[in-house]
Amino acid sequence: MHVYDALVIGAGQAGLSASYHLTRLGIDHVLLDANPGPGGAWQHRWDSLSMDDVHGVADLPQAPAPGRSQDRANVVVPDWFGRYEAERGLPVVRPVRVDRVTSDGDLLVVRAADRSWRTRTLVNATGTWTQPFVPYYPGAETFLGEQLHTVDYPGPAHFDGRRVLVVGGGASAVQFIGELAPRTDVLWVTRREPLWRDHFDEQAGRDAISLVQQRVREGLPPASVVGVTGLALRPQEQEAARLGAYDRRRPMFARIEPDGVRWADGAFERVDVILWATGFRPAVSHLAPLHLRSEHGGIALLPGGTDVQTSTTAALDPRVQLVGYGPSASTIGGNRAGRAAALAVRRYLAGHGDRLS
Ligand code: FAD
């Protein structure tokens, strides 16, 4: 069976960047992706998310990102990724959902159902979209209304005439409230007081990244970069803000009942829908057989050089790079990490006496 020098899992921003740089370095590799078509997680974003609504999509190597427009992000970005893959002849194979990666001597074996690939190194770029996180609250199973997560968001019209409780303190919650509050009754709960910012500069971005980097170095589960940069209201959210939707925020309830939610002090709110905008976890369960996790629950990465320089190498196995993970879980971070990972793969191969093709 052919042995690849590198294998990339996931064809989002991080995986495409890694594949571009591996190609440029002449490293024989294949890129496996679970989705039916190009676009990474962007192909699954909700229809009402336009290119004006996204926080910003970073360039891919040698390819400027599409600009702001009213066009749907779940069409524009997949089209762009598709052209990128085709024009550069990136070796993408799809749909292939990897279910486990095991070690066999010096090699790694990547398996998807009854298919397998052998490789010297691995670049994991599987993002978070397939691992939605919903915290458990007592009584959740008794709720008679509808519960959805960000991954299920069907657009604002679905909620008309219903009382919606949005849970979560991140950018998605703020966007959902912006869309829903002008047309229906919306409540908002968050675990912590939201961190609002009216000013965000490069230094604040660097600070946020180095905070997540520190967690990942220590082997802690990564916090989201977006989660530590703070929240801002954009023109799209001004109408909801004028209606006071963001001022009526409450701390988390204590339990869920059939018709609504109850706080520890006995207060009760009737709601028809609970929209969990409670984030995602890294999609890394297929790596479990490699035992990369630290005792703190996260996959520790080796320290990088400077604050913004991203190390992508798993501390417990130098054959494995993680991109779009922890400090590089953004489009700009994924893009940079792809390059760092390709260089780390080259260093590993050179250090282990393998001939580059
Ligand atoms: P993804 O785009 O998630 O791609 C991962 C790929 O891996 C997918 O194609 C998936 O099918 C594949 N995959 C997963 N598991 C497997 C498997 N087992 N086998 C094979 N393939 C697999 N960041 C920004 O910078 N700007 C924004 O505006 C922005 N908006 C966001 C909005 C939302 C709602 C969310 C949830 C995130 C947003 N982010 C944003 C974060 C951003 O999406 C990501 O950090 C970045 O796009 C992820 O790129 P990625 O390549 O790491 O992963």
pLDDT digits over 214-241, tens only? Answer: 778 788 877 766 566 678 888 899 999 9
CA distance 284 to 292: 10
CA distance 4 to 286: 19
CA distance 169 to 190: 5
Instruction: Give the amino acid at 126.
Output: T
CA distance 192 to 203: 24
CA distance 228 to 217: 17
CA distance 128 to 41: 8
* Residue 271 alpha carbon to ligand 1 centre in Å: 31
CA distance 168 to 76: 27
CA distance 302 to 108: 20
Q: State which of 33, 149, 176 you would mutate to test the pocket of ligand 1, scoring each by most atoms of that ligand within 8 A of its C-beta.
A: 33
* Residue 317 alpha carbon to ligand 1 centre in Å: 24
Query: Helices in the chain by DSSP H: which ranges?
Result: 13-24, 73-87, 171-180, 202-217, 225-229, 238-242, 331-351
Residue 131 tokens read as 């691992």
CA distance 157 to 52: 20
Residues in the chain: 357
Atom 44 (ligand 1) nearest CA: 330
Residue 140 tokens read as 């959740």
The residues lining ligand 1, judged by C-beta closer than 6 Å to any ligand atom, are 9-15, 32-35, 40-41, 45, 54-57, 96-98, 125-127, 129-130, 150, 172, 280, 283, 286, 324, 329-332, 334
Residue by residue, pLDDT tens for the chain (357 residues) are: 899 999 999 999 999 999 999 999 999 999 999 999 999 999 999 999 999 988 889 999 999 999 999 999 999 999 999 999 999 999 999 999 999 999 999 999 999 999 999 999 999 999 999 999 999 999 999 999 999 999 999 999 999 999 999 999 999 999 999 999 999 999 999 998 888 876 656 666 667 777 777 778 788 877 766 566 678 888 899 999 999 999 999 999 999 999 999 999 999 999 999 999 999 999 999 999 999 999 999 999 998 755 445 689 999 999 999 999 988 899 999 999 999 999 999 999 999 975 554
What are the residues facing 182 on neighbouring strands?
A: none
CA distance 39 to 129: 12
State the ipTM, two decimals: 0.98
Residue 231 tokens read as 């929240």
Q: Which atom of ligand 1 is nearest to the CA of 54?
A: 28
